[in-house]
Chains A and B, each alone.
Chain A
Amino acid sequence: NAGVTQTPKFRVLKTGQSMTLLCAQDMNHEYMYWYRQDPGMGLRLIHYSVGEGTTAKGEVPDGYNVSRLKKQNFLLGLESAAPSQTSVYFCASSPEDRSNYGYTFGSGTRLTVV
């Protein structure tokens, strides 16, 4: 039982390049999220999904796109990377059942844009 798996773990991009971060969960969770973590700022929500085929914007969505074609996968795309997107990205999932609320996190992706 892997939980939440993020790939890749590390990546260096040049300004203007594109990439996709993959998040996969095997717990049949309905809700999935992408956060970024920057020094001194905690975690900030980029986009989230409350079910297969649905996505919504979070607090800091600009410059990112997401897709959730399959329930178990949540993809985060950067179309044209900028140095301001240098960050650690975390994916998380949660069951819909309120009594079991709580995130399971991935291990993170450290992205550097030069």
Chain B
Amino acid sequence: AQRVTQPEKLLSVFKGAPVELKCNYSYSGSPELFWYVQYSRQRLQLLLRHISRESIKGFTADLNKGETSFHLKKPFAQEEDSAMYYCALNTGFQKLVFGTGTRLLVSP
């Protein structure tokens, strides 16, 4: 079955603390994973793609095929990082299966 699991509905941290948003997937093929973010009153937008191996706004994510994970990390959280984060898996033709999302709340 093709599935994306984000176990935490809410992650609350203080400014300057490290952040790790968890994402696990189930997929029989070669996975292609993404993180999308939705800031308050804004549209969902692409944050990063694992194939690009990029760092956006200080966030990184490494695909771990052995653990079937694609956790999103940032060493020092900022208040402007507060948002809803979705992990997504490409199942072909860019059809994405999304996780249920994690709300990140960064307090001052």
B43 proximal to A (CB < 8 A): yes
Which bucket holds chain A's interface residue count? 20 to 34
The answer for the CA separation of A58 and B91 in the assembled complex, in Å, is 11
The answer for the CA separation of A108 and B51 in the assembled complex, in Å, is 27
Q: Which of B45-104 contact A (CB under 8 A)?
A: 45-46, 49, 51, 86, 90, 93-101
Most buried by A among B44, B97, B101: B44
- The reply to whether B100 and A103 contact each other, CB–CB distance below 8 Å, is no
- The reply to whether A101 and B32 contact each other, CB–CB distance below 8 Å, is yes
Question: Which residues of the partner chain A approach B51 to less than 8 Å between Cβ atoms?
Answer: 98-99, 101
Question: Which residues of the partner chain A approach B100 to less than 8 Å between Cβ atoms?
Answer: 40-42
- The reply to whether A101 and B94 contact each other, CB–CB distance below 8 Å, is yes
Given A90-B44, A106-B43, A107-B43, residue A101 in contact with residue B90 (CB < 8 A)? yes
- The reply to whether A94 and B44 contact each other, CB–CB distance below 8 Å, is no
Q: Which of A70-107 contact B (CB under 8 A)?
A: 90, 92, 94, 98-99, 101-107
The answer for the CA separation of A40 and B4 in the assembled complex, in Å, is 13
Q: Which of A47-73 contact B (CB under 8 A)?
A: 48, 50, 58-59
A43 proximal to B (CB < 8 A): yes
The answer for the CA separation of A32 and B93 in the assembled complex, in Å, is 10
A45 proximal to B (CB < 8 A): yes
The answer for the CA separation of A102 and B94 in the assembled complex, in Å, is 8
Residues of A with Cβ closer than 8 Å to B? Answer: 31, 33, 35, 40-45, 48, 50, 58-59, 90, 92, 94, 98-99, 101-108
Q: List 16 A-B contacts (CB under 8 A).
A: A42-B4, A42-B101, A43-B96, A44-B98, A45-B96, A48-B95, A58-B95, A90-B44, A98-B51, A101-B32, A101-B34, A101-B90, A101-B94, A102-B46, A103-B44, A107-B43
Q: A31-B93, A90-B44 are in contact. List 9 more A-B contacts (CB 8 A).
A: A31-B94, A33-B96, A41-B100, A45-B96, A59-B97, A92-B44, A101-B94, A105-B43, A106-B43
